[in-house]
Amino acid sequence: MHLTLRKAAAAACLLLATGAAQAADPLQHAVISASYSAGAILGIGDDYAGSPVSGLDPLDTSVEFFTADALFGFDFAPDGHLTIYNNLAIPAGSYSASFDFGATLGAAITGFNVVDAGVTGGTPVLTVVDGHTIRIDLSAVEWNGDYSPLQTAITLQAAPVPEPATVSMLAAGLLGLALRARRRR
Give per-residue pLDDT as tens, 36-82.
999 999 999 889 999 999 999 888 888 999 999 999 999 999 999 99
Q: List, in sequence order, every residue forming a beta bridge with 142; answer none if it has no partner.
A: 121
Same-domain check for residues 90 and 128: yes
Same-domain check for residues 107 and 149: yes
Q: Which range of residues forms the domain containing residue 12?
A: 2-23+161-184
Q: Note the pLDDT of residue 17.
A: 43
pTM of the model: 0.74
Same-domain check for residues 170 and 105: no
Pick from 73-82, 90-99, 170-179: least confident: 170-179
pLDDT tens-digit map of 1-17: 444 545 544 444 444 44
Same-domain check for residues 85 and 33: yes
Q: How many domains does the chain have?
A: 2
pLDDT tens-digit map of 105-146: 989 999 999 999 999 999 999 999 999 999 999 999 999 888
Same-domain check for residues 170 and 123: no
